Structure 1
């Protein structure tokens, strides 16, 4: 005997928990006219009376979540003679005495299922599924809630939108929603504005779900790559690849290069490192050679971290070559992704006009080293956060066009061919 709960006690019961268990985006579209305090058969009859032959979304509760699926509501009395294989199999099975089919679903691969309402009214009945995997002793899995505790959303996404990119669908539906022209809505396959808003929420939900799945995969890949890189760095240290060269560590050499890029004189760098220029030249050549021969990129990783955070080791007490105002500018860019992309695009378009990147950076109060620090902050996030990556594409299109339009004409632009 399977374990059962009363409707009041079952953890998934909407009768107890109410509609708060439905996602906020779906709640507004639910048909609240379906009775929840009557019998199973009363709820079944009303659903069939209203929606027989129509495709709707059936929303079912789980413990802490909801499941939903598009189904066609059927009137079993009218449909039990249907020649569909799953109809005929169910009609000949021993289950009709205990269950009434109320919905039909077909998967993309052609497999068919019937959703069943259990005739038993108390204790809590189950919704069951009958499909190709069902046998004479089993009626598929159960969902833990009765038909009285399910929700019916009387709308589905029009078929011609289902094979298109969700991002394109969202843009088109947003434009339709703003226009709110009744004839255009009907031409697009919608019953009314509410139907359109449901489709829009569904498309946005598909994007969010797809992004979440892709983000989870990307997180797993990045975690694996980071673990491998940390192993590479550990192996490089153990193998002596990161041993100092003539007393200059990789971190000191990287920090020194960052200081020079930021405007600190070579003489000042040599003074801090306490070496002469010939030694500096030799140290630089050897570190470059090691880096170029390191196929694991462990040295490059250590170099990049030190270059973007040069106030370490022997340079900890030295100025980084940036003013206090420049430091504030860096923090501003680190806190504003759109500003970061704007500056990046400004430099990109400027380079096509022969404008030096450093002069553009100065307009934002930044030095080359400041920009490296800002890039070190945002680059890993763009590589690991799909939402930022998508936002980046739109922002780049916008700012590239803006700076290209504002760029001064070149001499060649006056030549008419």
Structure 2
């Protein structure tokens, strides 16, 4: 059966011609056969690596697919296989009982993200606090507690969901009326950023180069293209999620090279504007 004709479950990317239960049962059979094939004593980490390698080979065998499809499968099931979430694959109804996602002062992670987005769009904090009915000390606690939860969450569920909400440009009914110094008047640039991967990689490379030359990269993009930090980060998460869900190694390599090329071009530009690199005046 060729990869072109294999149908995959949209949730877990297993081939629809077999059950996921039969797949994992066969996997465990092969793991046990491997471990019993010699007298070596394997550590838990070594057994985990053996299981991962056998899972990949079994998936490729049962679906007659290429290595990119294997990566898509592993990414879609990263939490099941490794206990680590991947952007684009966290489902809220799967983590409802997670204590790290319990509301803080009655505000959910989505609410917190919506407030963060408004702040990074340039909406005054006082306006946001008034709309949400909170005081500045509560916001300080939100920042502290959500930050602590992200730091202690070894599954990266909180951080990944925060990123997904950013990609969705999450909002809150109480905040929708608040204006932002965002892309008003520059909607074409924002549209291009979200639809043209080359344009996104160019600005991402330029931003990195700007920071390396002591400039505020986010402010540079706002000044040059009218795209604020919140909108830029939202689009960045969209591209990351799309890459996870539609992984293609050739595309990844292509855009990585393009990103680096643009970063170097902007680095040269910023260096020239600052009078050249210090190293340019040194002769060997």
Shift of 1:276: 0.8
Q: How does 1:171-186 map to 2 (within 5 A)?
A: none
Structure 1 equivalent of residue 205 of structure 2: 345
CA contact under 8 A between 1:310 and 1:320: conserved in structure 2? no
Structure 2 equivalent of residue 298 of structure 1: 157
Determine the C-alpha separation between the residues in 1 that align with 2:151 and 2:234: 23
| Ranges in structure 2 where 5+ consecutive residues have no aligned partner | 6-64
Shift of 1:232: 8.1
Structure with higher strand content: 1
1:251 aligns with 2:110: yes
1:331 aligns with 2:194: no
CA RMSD of aligned residues (A): 2.8
Structure number with greater CO (CA < 8 Å, separation at least 6) is 2
Q: How does 1:355-370 map to 2 (within 5 A)?
A: 355-362=215-222, 363-370=224-231
1:214 aligns with 2:67: yes
Structure 1 residues 414 and 283 mapped into 2: Cα distance closer, same or farther (>3 Å)? Answer: same
Determine the C-alpha separation between the residues in 2 that align with 1:404 and 1:321: 27
Determine the C-alpha separation between the residues in 2 that align with 1:294 and 1:313: 29
Number of equivalenced pairs:
208
Shift of 1:264: 1.2
**CA offset digits 1:68-100 (Å, max 9, x no partner):** xxxxxxxxxxxxxxxxxxxxxxxxxxxxxxxxx
- 4+ aligned runs moved over 3 Å, structure 1: 226-236, 316-321, 410-417
Structure 1 residues 302 and 392 mapped into 2: Cα distance closer, same or farther (>3 Å)? Answer: same
The structure with the largest alpha-carbon Rg is 1
Determine the C-alpha separation between the residues in 1 that align with 2:216 and 2:196: 23
| Ranges in structure 1 where 5+ consecutive residues have no aligned partner | 1-63, 66-211
Shift of 1:337: 0.9
1:373 equivalent among 234, 238, 263: 234
Q: How does 1:8-407 map to 2 (within 5 A)?
A: 213-225=66-78, 229=85, 234=93, 236-308=95-167, 309-362=169-222, 363-383=224-244, 384-406=247-269, 407=271
Determine the C-alpha separation between the residues in 2 that align with 1:280 and 1:336: 36
Determine the C-alpha separation between the residues in 1 that align with 2:235 and 2:126: 27
Shift of 1:394: 2.9
**CA offset digits 1:44-66 (Å, max 9, x no partner):** xxxxxxxxxxxxxxxxxxxx99x
Output the TM-score relative to the length of structure 2. 0.64
